[in-house]
Amino acid sequence: MMASPILRAENISKTYTIGERSAVILDDISLTLDTGAFTVLSGSSGSGKTTLLTILSGLDKPSRGNVWLDDQEITGLDENGLAPLRNRLIGFVFQAFHLVPSLTSLENVMFPAELNRDRRARDKAAELLNRVGLWERRHNRPEQLSGGEKQRVAICRALINKPQLVFADEPTGNLDSENSRDVVELLVELQREYSTTLLMATHSREIADSADRILQLHDGRMVQGDSRP
């Protein structure tokens, strides 16, 4: 029997209005994420995956609906309330890496832990970089790393605070097939090792096949949600 959901969303809709025109990006989506599970959010480009991730993580607000994270309703919180909650409970892995260009690999990984005033930030970052085979690249800045190395640094950064929930938005989108496989295997391996809940947006069927559950988006609506035995 699964533990209680780490995240719950009810009736999420998102509409953008430009002048007199309105575009519905998400339409009445409800879902739960089970603690410790690997869930894939699948759908073609433009289906609303990124918008849904930003709302579920508190980076954006829905036009309608509510999100609960660890039984706390977050859609009504302002940025002062959201920022510490995100840093404590959530990790992010993005397609475009979003590493700080002026920081080394080690410093990029340390950054979220330093925001938490964690005195072991450097030690934890070192352990993670060793874990993913990048200790020798600890002094390199992002411009000196390959795409696969950047994403491994980003994964370490996402996990340093041992978050309860990790959002990964097309994490292999800028990688070749070999690096894509390596990154996904590493992310899932660390997710299981850390007992973290993982929600990954991807259009890759191969990645989806390795998930515990698939949520399918089409034109902003949830059309399928299946669990694997």
CA dist., res. 53 & res. 74, Å (int): 14
Tell me if 30 is assigned to some domain.
Answer: no
Tell me if 17 is assigned to some domain.
Answer: no
Mean pLDDT of the chain: 91
Question: CB of 217 within 8 A of CB of 28?
Answer: no
Tell me if 198 is assigned to some domain.
Answer: yes
pLDDT, tens digit, for every residue of 154-181? Answer: 999 999 999 999 999 999 888 888 888 8
pLDDT, tens digit, for every residue of 196-205? Answer: 999 999 888 8
**Number of domains present in the structure of the chain:** 1
The mean per-residue pLDDT over the stretch 110-127 comes to: 95
Residue 2: is its pLDDT beyond 60? no
Tell me if 25 is assigned to some domain.
Answer: no
Which one, of 37, 1, 30, 38, lies nearest residue 13 by Cα?
30
Which one, of 88, 93, 196, lies nearest residue 154 by Cα?
93
pLDDT, tens digit, for every residue of 65-91? Answer: 999 998 899 998 998 999 888 888 999
The mean per-residue pLDDT over the stretch 89-113 comes to: 94
Q: How would DSSP label each residue in the chain?
A: -PPPEEEEEEEEEEEEEETTEEEEEEEEEEEEEETT-EEEEE--TTSSHHHHHHHHTTSS--SEEEEEETTEE-TT--HHHHHHHHHHHEEEEETT----TTS-HHHHHHHHHHHTT-TTHHHHHHHHHHHTT-GGGTT--GGGS-HHHHHHHHHHHHHTT--SEEEEESTTTTS-HHHHHHHHHHHHHHHHHTT-EEEEEE--HHHHTTSSEEEEEETTEEEEEEE--
Residue 1: is its pLDDT beyond 50? no
Tell me if 179 is assigned to some domain.
Answer: yes
The pair of three-digit structure tokens given for residue 81, joined into one six-digit string: 């309330």
Enter the pTM of the model.
0.90
pLDDT at 229: 46
Range of the domain at 48: 36-60+86-227
Tell me if 53 is assigned to some domain.
Answer: yes
Cβ atoms within 10 Å, residue 229:
3
Question: CB of 179 within 8 A of CB of 147?
Answer: yes
CA dist., res. 123 & res. 129, Å (int): 10
Of 209 and 149, more confident: 149
Measured in whole angstroms, how far is the alpha carbon of residue 64 from the centre of its chain? 22
Q: What is the CATH number of the domain that holds 142?
A: 3.40.50.300
Tell me if 168 is assigned to some domain.
Answer: yes
Residue 112: pLDDT band with limits 50, 70, 90: very high
The pair of three-digit structure tokens given for residue 164, joined into one six-digit string: 């309860």
